A and B are shown apart, each in its own frame.
Chain A
Amino acid sequence: MSKPNPADRKYSKEHEWAMDEGAGTIRMGITDHAQELLTDIVFVELPAIGKKVKQMEPMAVVESVKSVSDVFSPVSGEVIEVNKELEEHPEVVNEDAFGKGWIAKLKMDDPAELNNLMDAARYTEMIKEEKH
């Protein structure tokens, strides 16, 4: 069973989360449900600092032994920090997807885009429906 989806952040339909950290920046990662589907993550290809992305465009890649999945950016903006820890320890995403397993921080182009994302309750509902 995946961990509950924290209410302090927003969710995309591609299973990313975005947490508003103020000053027009967000921290993002993949959800616990996503890491569960992917199984053991063996590699995370982090974006370059300064990379500019549009909302729901691929920005990073996570790999398990037998699969490769894009990570989509929950907002448009510029990558300002990445979680270097994941280069050596990709398993942190499996262990703590909502916390230590964050992937990147972005400076948002338009904070209003957060409204395009789901809240925790709706995301929880969505993954429940997917299972059926």
Chain B
Amino acid sequence: MELIFEKSRPGRTATTIPEADVPEVAITDIINKSLLRDDVDLPEVAEVDLIRHYTQLSKRNFGVDVGFYPLGSCTMKYNPKINEEVSRLPGFTSLHPYSPVKFSQGSLQIMYELRQYLSEIFGMADFALQPAAGAQGELTGVMVIKKYFEKKGQKRTKILIPDTAHGTNPASSALCGYSVVTVRSNAEGGVDIGQLRELMTKDVAGLMITNPNTLGLFERNIEQVSEIVHRRGGILYCDGANANAFMGATKPGDLGIDVIQLNLHKTFSTPHGCGGPGSGPVGVRKDLVRHLPVPRVIKKGKRYDWKYEFPDSIGRVKTFYGNFNVMVKAYTYIRSLGPGGLKKASETAVLNANYIKERLRAWYDLPYDRICMHECVFSGKRQVKESGVHTSDIAKRLLDYGYHPPTIYFPLIVPEAIMIEPNETESKETLDAFCDTMIAIAKEAKENPELVKSAPLTTVVRRLDEVKAAREPDVCWGRV
């Protein structure tokens, strides 16, 4: 397909700018010529061509609205349309962030109440909504830990992270000056308690766990983990990426979690937009609230206001107040589902994952064979051994059948990992059809491995040359 630049013709435009209704002044009388530029070399197309270009591009893109999207650890649940519709109300979209608070009581109410709802769901004392995404929430959470020890006058230099963790965990820790120490998993996929005990010394700021972990397994020894970390004065951090597993079933705060970050674009149904915007609230236990980012919404009587003065705060991580419009969607979702709906969502997500696990267990290796939470992790080892078909081939073959593949090669401790997260919004028919396809591919891998290895055959492009893309980077048209 042509690039928009290749469709450009000098003199065309898709927009007109109003004529100036103020007195004509030469621009060079206002700004010196040496500070001005020539035209930006942007594409010139008519409106209809613009629309057709992007409509064609959209048809070359796969979203939840197109088909089943069991991408593990990403929680690609259905994005309810009412959320989108209300988020586009002019009251939410057209207000300047520095509007006087009397003009923005609705926005402040949403943020204030969303914080309360999240605190109740996760058993935390309070949440900050400023972080723009999960990774920024995580960074903010580690900053809170750093500030906590700084204020206590304790020098702690390390953070413990299990070997199943997502790559952001070590990256966030390193950006706060911590060195990262890996804790290995035990035979049943949980934290190795013996090793944790050894590693959890006085110079360790805390442990970052993901619960349920990236194997989709709930940390059975969570009480022990919490006890070991806390006895040494450490902070127990939970990456809440997998929060869709336990809403209404248990509260992280009750389990001893001191800091948690969420991903509203996973758990709370806000769409992921091809990679963002997200929203990554951070929740903390009571004595850490004073370290959260500023400003914070407060309520005086019936009136909401902004408060900036929190001297022990880590400061600000983002301009204004966070991704407000994403919060509107998450708020709408919580108001739609209520406590019963949230509980049912998590229960069904877990039911669906266990159902897939049962249906596929005869066909793919299951390295950790126990009840899973909202996702299940298989290994494609058997297929590699039997016919040289790798997990990446199976993923590509799924494209031919009209599915978005599961997450693959993660977590790193499972060779040829296939991580399936079905979500609660999928029907039994969808799950069955997907399982039937996975079984059909397992058979293809045996009988006709070359077919699987050459997939995809039906997509708009075939397998792309990633080596060429990395060796001869072309990230800007016309520059190579």
Contacts and interface: CB of A to CB of B under 8 A. Distances in A.
Interface stretch (B257-265, B372-380, B413-421, B466-474): B466-474
A43 B471 CA distance: 7
Interface of B, secondary structure class, is helix
Given A65-B467, A91-B471, 4 more contacts: A40-B471, A42-B470, A43-B470, A43-B471
A91 B472 CA distance: 11
Nearest to B470: A42
A43 B409 CA distance: 22
Contacts of B466: 65
Contacts of B470: 42-43, 63, 65
A92 B467 CA distance: 14
Contacts, number: 14
A125 B273 CA distance: 52
Contacts of A101: none
A92 to B, nearest CB: 11
14 contacts: A40-B467, A40-B471, A42-B467, A42-B470, A42-B471, A43-B470, A43-B471, A63-B470, A65-B466, A65-B467, A65-B470, A66-B409, A90-B471, A91-B471
A41 B409 CA distance: 19
Interface of A: 40, 42-43, 63, 65-66, 90-91
Contacts of A43: 470-471
State the 8 A-B residue pairs at the shortest beta-carbon distance, nearest first.
Answer: A42-B470, A40-B467, A65-B466, A42-B471, A65-B470, A65-B467, A42-B467, A90-B471
A75 B10 CA distance: 61
Interface string B379-394: 0000000000000000
A90 B473 CA distance: 13
Contacts of A90: 471
A22 B409 CA distance: 45
B416 to A, nearest CB: 14
A66 B469 CA distance: 12
A117 to B, nearest CB: 28
A63 B467 CA distance: 11
Interface string B459-480: 0000000110011000000000
**Most chain A CB atoms below 10 A, which of B409, B466, B467:** B467
Contacts of B409: 66
A8 to B, nearest CB: 30
Nearest to A89: B471
A90 B467 CA distance: 11
A43 B467 CA distance: 10
Contacts of A42: 467, 470-471
A56 B467 CA distance: 29
Contacts of A91: 471
Interface in B376-435: 409
Contacts of A40: 467, 471
A91 B465 CA distance: 14
A95 to B, nearest CB: 13
A56 B126 CA distance: 48
